[in-house]
Amino acid sequence: MADEAEATGPSFDDVRRQLEDVPVSPARLEARRLAAAGREVIERLVATTAPEDVLHRAADLLQEASALLGEWPQGRLYEGYAESANSGDPHAFFDHSPVQGVSNPLAPPIRLEVGDDGVVRGYVRFGSAYEGPPSSVHGGYVAAAFDEVLGVAQSLGGSPGMTGTLTIRYRKPTPLHADLRFESRLEWQEGRKIFCTGELYAGELLCAEAEGIFISVDIARMAELMAKRQDARD
């Protein structure tokens, strides 16, 4: 068996289990409600037939909401679990993901869980905003979802890392507005390299397969990336 990489942080499952007993703050609940409303606006705007006056009013309302939020400074999205817990909002660890974040209107969002068999499963319905080929999910969003699901699987080894390579094989068009299921698992580790595989199903129809190689990153390197992100925003 290959040598395991040195553990550098908690896995998705570790953090998820810790969150189960942590209540969601009222502000976080409202952020989730706001994001859900944002998704509805995006879904309805994509192919709307609304007349000019309705679009004008809707644009005014969104600009008003943007100005309201703009009165408050932006926080940090990438907080470690312990730091988030100290700030009173540990759920921010997941809520802002562009794929699974229920507080991010760009996210479908995908719901992830880790089975007793070690398989990570993701459940999602992609709406009209994610359309590529007619009535099908854009392949780029399929790839992004695979990156998230395989990323959770690789974290279960205790040495979570960043995506090195991600290979997708598209078997069938992935249907829009359908219940989809991603499955992924950690296959093996070789030093800092973590190998994962996954599949995407619509019912029992295999729509796509994926292979990912992740490179474990130590805490110091992650802190460096966070510092660069903050400097860029300042």
In the prediction, which pLDDT does 199 show?
Answer: 98
Place of tokens 């969601």: 24
Q: Report the CATH fold assignment for 12-233.
A: Thiol Ester Dehydrase; Chain A (3.10.129)
pLDDT interval class at 81 (50, 70, 90) = very low
Nearest Cα to Cα of residue 103 among 112, 92, 87: 92
- 3-class DSSP state for residue 7? coil
- 3-class DSSP state for residue 202? strand
- CB-based burial label for 88 (10 Å; 0-12, 13-18, 19+): exposed
pTM equals: 0.81
User: Who has greater pLDDT, 78 or 232?
Assistant: 232
pLDDT tens-digit profile of 22-56?
Answer: 788 898 899 999 999 999 999 999 989 999 999 99
On the question of pLDDT at 69 being above 70, the answer is yes
CA–CA gap between residue 69 and residue 197 (Å, rounded): 40
pLDDT tens-digit profile of 132-150?
Answer: 999 999 999 999 999 999 9
On the question of pLDDT at 14 being above 80, the answer is no
Task: Measure the CA dihedral 194/199/200/206, to 10°.
Answer: 160
Neighbouring residues of 173: CB distance < 8 A, sequence distance ≥ 6: 133, 135, 136, 137, 207
pLDDT interval class at 7 (50, 70, 90) = very low
Q: What are all long-range contacts of 80-86, with beta carbons under 8 Å and residues at least 24 apart?
A: 80/9, 81/10, 81/15, 81/18, 85/22
Neighbouring residues of 16: CB distance < 8 A, sequence distance ≥ 6: 114
In the prediction, which pLDDT does 24 show?
Answer: 81
192 and 5 Cβ atoms separated by less than 8 Å: yes
CA–CA gap between residue 226 and residue 11 (Å, rounded): 19
Instruction: Give one DSSP letter per residue of 108-139, joined into a string.
Output: -PPEEEE-TTS-EEEEE---GGGB-STTBB-H
Mean per-residue pLDDT of the chain: 84
Q: Where are the domains of the chain?
A: 12-233
